[in-house]
Amino acid sequence: MRLKARAKINWTLDIVGQRADGYHLMDMLMQPVTLADDITLAPAEKITLTTGGFPLLPADEKHLARRAAVALKEHTGYPGGASIHVEKHIPVGAGMGGGSADAAGVLVGLNRLWGLNLPQEELEVIGLRLGADVPFCIRGGLTRTTGIGETMEDLPCGRCWPLVVIQPCEGLSTKEIFTAYHEGVVAVRPDNDTAALALAKSDAQALSATMANVMQPVSEARRPSIREAIAALTEQGACAAQMTGSGSAVFGAFIDESSACRAYDVLCNRWERVYLCSTCMDSVVFVDDDQN
């Protein structure tokens, strides 16, 4: 069984509070993108994991794909295992949910491979124990996600946008950025209601005026190249551009594919990690399924 586990972007990201246990309360608009890791699953006696691609990550017990398989097995009492291979394409430390996407792909894939037939909502509950972005990476679509990631409202999507994504620097520590966020003052917050309406109407001008990421200034202070990459995307014709998640990746949305391709060709000469993709609605996509 082969599937694609897709990355995500934040059209908006706001922090609206913090729980007593330290978890931050979020209010954000998220959507999957076609940039994806490739996951291969096969029946086996035990759970095993191998990795490939770039960046090459250790296939150890900390890997979210393996943790997801173990969590699903423990939740259901399934007696068997699976061999899992993750071929990495999503940049790491980028704010694109690469690890969460892998966990989501394994949960959705093994639910089918093992014949568990768990409803999506139950998979999302298991996923939340692994990471705040995992439930969204299971569900997909255009959503307004609140709480710590457990509350998702499906939103209408007017169109899918061609994107150019740049990771202009090394990855950032989410924990470090959240800590630094509390030390500053937020100057600009997103208008989530208006941004959601702009996405429904495919209104690029309104979207650009109302989208924002409260983590962006914090990450830019530590990695000035983030600001430079956003400016470069705008110079190359992006109608909306900003950082996703806590960074370090940034994205630019373009009116049409040809404009995105032209920008991609130019920006590849300046940065090594540049990706051409688009927003989409499905987070986990089965490429083939020999088991059914």
22-58 as b/e: b if 16+ CB within 10 A:
eebebbbbbbbbbbbbbbbbeeeeebebebeeeeebe
Q: Which two tokens stand for residue 275?
A: 């990706």
- Per the DSSP assignment, residues forming a β-bridge with 254 are none
Long-range contacts of 115-121 (CB under 8 A, 24+ apart): 116/72, 116/76, 116/78, 118/76
Q: Which two tokens stand for residue 21?
A: 């246990």
Instruction: Kindly give the pairing relationship between strand 162-166 and strand 250-253.
Output: antiparallel
Rounded to an integer, what distance in angstroms lies between the CA atom of residue 70 and that of residue 46? 10
Catalytic residue, candidates 4, 8, 73, 88: 8
Rounded to an integer, what distance in angstroms lies between the CA atom of residue 79 and that of residue 116? 12
Catalytic-residue membership of 46: no
Given a contact cutoff of 8 angstroms between Cβ atoms, the answer to whether 180 and 222 are in contact is yes
End-to-end, the C-alpha distance of the chain in Å comes to 10
Q: Which two tokens stand for residue 196?
A: 């959601």
Given a contact cutoff of 8 angstroms between Cβ atoms, the answer to whether 31 and 24 are in contact is no
Catalytic residue, candidates 14, 27, 37, 133: 133
Catalytic-residue membership of 8: yes
Rounded to an integer, what distance in angstroms lies between the CA atom of residue 26 and that of residue 14? 6
Rounded to an integer, what distance in angstroms lies between the CA atom of residue 174 and that of residue 28? 16
Would you name the residues annotated as active-site residues? 8, 133
